[in-house]
C-alpha cells in the first residue's frame, strides 16, 4: 500500500458512514460509548457503535451532499 488507500477514523464533526445502515451522516456527539449521527438535512439523529463507523469516500461524500441539496431544493429551502 502507498498510504493513499488508508482511511482515517472519523471524529466529531466529520461526515461518516454507518455501515450497519449503509447511511451517511455527520458525527455530532459521543454518548455512552456510541456515536450520535444525523443526516445532512438535519433529520432524526441515531446512535451507532464506533466499530460500525467509517470515513466516507469522495464519491460517497459527493452523493450525500448532492442528495441533501436536492432535498432542500424540493422543500423550497
| pLDDT band with cut points at 50, 70 and 90 for residue 1 | very low
The confidence score (pLDDT) of residue 77 equals: 74
Higher per-residue confidence, 30 vs 6: 30
- Could you identify the residue written with the cell 455530532? 28
Residues 9, 58 contacting (CB under 8 angstroms): no
* Res 5 pLDDT > 60: no
Residues 67, 53 contacting (CB under 8 angstroms): no
Q: Which of 63, 72, 17 is nearest to 43 (CA)?
A: 72
Cα 18 from Cα 51, distance rounded (Å): 9
Element (H, E) at 74: helix 58-74
The confidence score (pLDDT) of residue 6 equals: 53
Q: What is the pLDDT of residues 26-69, one digit of tens each?
A: 999 999 999 999 998 878 999 999 999 999 999 999 999 999 89
Cα 28 from Cα 11, distance rounded (Å): 9
Amino acid at each position: 500500500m502507498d498510504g493513499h488507500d488508508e482511511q482515517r477514523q472519523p471524529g466529531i464533526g466529520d461526515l461518516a458512514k454507518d455501515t450497519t445502515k449503509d447511511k451517511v451522516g455527520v458525527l455530532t456527539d459521543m454518548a455512552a460509548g456510541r456515536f450520535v449521527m444525523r443526516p445532512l438535512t438535519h433529520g432524526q439523529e441515531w446512535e451507532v457503535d464506533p466499530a460500525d463507523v467509517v470515513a466516507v469516500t469522495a464519491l460517497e461524500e459527493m452523493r450525500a451532499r448532492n442528495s441533501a441539496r436536492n432535498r432542500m431544493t424540493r422543500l423550497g429551502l
